[in-house]
Structure 1
Amino acid sequence: MFDAKVRPLIDPPLNRIGSMLAGMGISANMLTFSGLALGLVGAVAIAFGQVWLGLALIITNRLLDGLDGAVARVRGPTALGGYFDIVADFAFYVSIPLGFGIMAAENTLPALVLVASFVLTGVSFLAFAVIAAERGKVTEEHGKKSFFYSTGLAEGGETIAVFIAMCLFPAWFSMIAYAYAGLCVLTVFQRSAMAAALFNK
């Protein structure tokens, strides 16, 4: 929802660092996999009750996710890089609720509901991208991507804000998880309405 609005603010510094990293021979895929590894370790830390360590690794994961895109813009985005990026993103997204679900039994059901809503959102996102590509649709609202990046109420920025809130207020995990799951479901309906308007021709 607000990803496109903050991009003009965060892209310039990320692009400067990305240019430096690319010049050092660091590839976008190296950053993608490093970020994924740290994000998954963060989920494990949360599962063991180390929520503050989990929060630090969540933030580091997102920084590397931004930098892999910056490096890709320098070297040129690739289809394989786009594939790795989206798989790494969703693997990270589902790992954090899983970590909270393991940490405390009362978190298990809301974590399951949230992961299920992520699956629905991801399916709608990828299905939209596939059909948009078949029809030659392009957008750079979220920057230059290797696939069509459709907007929605629940996007990366909102998801990270929710993860940070969960780490800051772990006792409120259930309430936050159910509320955000509802927003994810609304995103699926929103994206479906967009698809009906764009593809029903």
Structure 2
Amino acid sequence: MFDSKLRPWIDPPLNRLGLALARRGITADQVTVAGAVAGGVAGLAIGLQQPLAGLALIALSRLLDGLDGAIARATRPTDFGGYLDILCDYVFYLAVPLGFGLAEPAHLPYALALVASFTLTAVSFLAYATLAAKRGLESVSHGAKSFFYSTGLAEGAETIAAFVLMCLFPAAFPVIASLFTVLCLLTVVQRSLIARAEFRQDR
């Protein structure tokens, strides 16, 4: 929901840093994988009941996630880079809630419900992108991307905000996870209604 509004503020400094890293021979794919590793370790730290360490790793993971696109724009974006980026994003999105479920067994049902809602959100997002590509649709509101990014109530900025709150207030994980699960499901409904309006008629 807020991703496109934040891009004008975030992209300029990321682009400058991405250009500097590209000049040093660092590739976008390397940074993408590093971001996924940081996200996975964040989930592990949270599972070991170290949520503040997890929070620091979440911040690192998302910084790297922003930098990979900046490096790609400074060099040559590839379709494989786009594939790797979305795959590694979901390593991060799944690792963090599962970490909270491991840290406190009573929280596991809430973690699994959130993971399930992320899965449905991903399916709706990727299905929409596939059909949008088939019809030649383009969107620049989320910056230059390898495929169509459809807007939703729950996007990257909202997810990161929820994860930050979980790390700062781990005892409130069930409440935060439940609210965000509902937001994800509403996003699926929202995107499905948009898809119905956009793709109902064959072209």
Same fold flag (TM > 0.5) = yes
C-alpha distance in 2 between matches for 1:77 and 1:150: 20
C-alpha distance in 2 between matches for 1:91 and 1:28: 17
Cα deviation, 1:22-57, whole Å, max 9, x if unaligned, reads 111111000000111111111101000011110000
* Aligned residues: CA RMSD: 0.6
C-alpha distance in 2 between matches for 1:132 and 1:24: 36
Partner residue, 2:121: 121
Match for 2:82: what amino acid? G
| Identity over aligned pairs, percent | 57
Partner residue, 1:138: 138
C-alpha distance in 1 between matches for 2:21 and 2:197: 41
C-alpha distance in 2 between matches for 1:198 and 1:34: 37
Q: How many residues are matched?
A: 201
C-alpha distance in 2 between matches for 1:91 and 1:193: 27
Partner residue, 1:104: 104
Matched, 1:93 2:93: yes
Q: Runs of 4+ in structure 1 displaced over 3 angstroms?
A: none
C-alpha distance in 1 between matches for 2:173 and 2:2: 23
Partner residue, 1:188: 188
Structure 1, unaligned runs of 5 or more: none
**Shift in Å, 1:200:** 1.4
**Shift in Å, 1:76:** 2.6
Q: Please tell me whether the aligned partners of residues 31 and 65 of structure 2 are also in contact (alpha carbons under 8 angstroms).
A: yes
**Shift in Å, 1:197:** 1.3
Partner residue, 2:70: 70
**Shift in Å, 1:150:** 0.7
**TM-score of the superposed pair, with normalisation by structure 2:** 0.98
Matched, 1:41 2:45: no
C-alpha distance in 1 between matches for 2:23 and 2:149: 27
**TM-score of the superposed pair, with normalisation by structure 1:** 0.99
Cα deviation, 1:137-159, whole Å, max 9, x if unaligned, reads 11111000011111100000000
